[in-house]
């Protein structure tokens, strides 16, 4: 373990520790700079938040790059996937899509319009409430999504192949616990 508050004048009773690895990542360097001005618990949270943001950005950037070569954007695939999961009708209201995708209603309207022009979804008024718009996946949209799912899964597997299956399982469990905590605090039970 490396003690991030090993200083001759340190008065701290608890320290931020990191497991020694062959190399330091960019976040370790940031934490070293911040060690004198933050408490160990703050450093731990900051290091985790930095790593989560950097990894999420890196993964999204790489997936978008690979999907662009296939002629589809990540948001298009995510919207199609939401509709595929909404069995048996493959249909959601615009409001449900906004909640699932964590978007504003205006953003959903724009995105659905684009996919409708491609023939991947249709929009209709809900029969019971003309103020509500239902978005339905077309066969062409489903086929396009299924064509790309395998490629996206391959990209994700390749990007994460640098860590063992056991470590991936441990990360999944830890991140699930964190996400459940945040969803509970936010009151977001969406699945």
Average pLDDT over residues 178-187: 88
pTM of this prediction exceeds 0.75: no
Work out the number of other CB atoms within 10 angstroms of the CB of residue 111. 22
Q: CA 72, CA 128: separation in Å to the nearest integer?
A: 34
* Pairing outcome for strands 129-137 and 121-126: antiparallel
The mean of the pLDDT values for the chain is 86
Where in 50-119 does DSSP place strands (E)?
A: 91-93
Q: CA 122, CA 115: separation in Å to the nearest integer?
A: 8
Q: Which of 16-30, 88-102, 133-147, 151-165 bottoms out in mean pLDDT, i.e. has the lowest? A: 16-30
74-147 folds as: Arc Repressor Mutant, subunit A (1.10.10)
User: 131 vs 100, which has greater pLDDT?
Assistant: 100
> Which contiguous run of DSSP H or E holds residue 3?
strand 2-3
**What pLDDT was estimated at residue 23?**
83
Six token digits for residue 88: 């048996």
In the structure, what pLDDT confidence band is assigned to residue 92 with cuts at 50, 70 and 90? Answer: very high
Structural domain boundaries in the chain: 1-69, 74-147
**What pLDDT was estimated at residue 174?**
94
**What pLDDT was estimated at residue 7?**
43
């Amino acid at each position: 373990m490396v003690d991030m508050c090993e200083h001759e004048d340190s008065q701290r009773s608890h320290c931020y520790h990191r497991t020694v690895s062959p190399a330091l990542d960019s976040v370790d360097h940031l934490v070293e700079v911040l060690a004198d001005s933050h408490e160990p618990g703050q450093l731990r949270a900051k290091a985790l938040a930095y790593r989560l943001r950097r990894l999420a950005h890196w993964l999204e950037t790489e997936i978008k790059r690979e999907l662009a070569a296939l002629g589809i954007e990540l948001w298009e695939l995510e919207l199609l996937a939401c509709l595929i999961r909404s069995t048996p009708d493959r249909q959601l209201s615009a409001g449900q899509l906004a909640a699932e995708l964590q978007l504003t209603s205006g953003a959903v309207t724009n995105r659905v319009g684009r996919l409708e022009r491609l023939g991947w979804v249709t929009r209709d008024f809900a029969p019971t409430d003309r103020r509500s718009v239902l978005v339905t996946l077309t066969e062409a949209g489903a086929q396009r999504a299924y064509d790309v799912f395998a490629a996206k899964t391959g990209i994700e597997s390749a990007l994460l192949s640098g860590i063992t299956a056991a470590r991936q399982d441990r990360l999944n469990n830890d991140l699930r616990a964190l996400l459940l905590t945040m969803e509970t605090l936010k009151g977001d039970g969406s699945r």
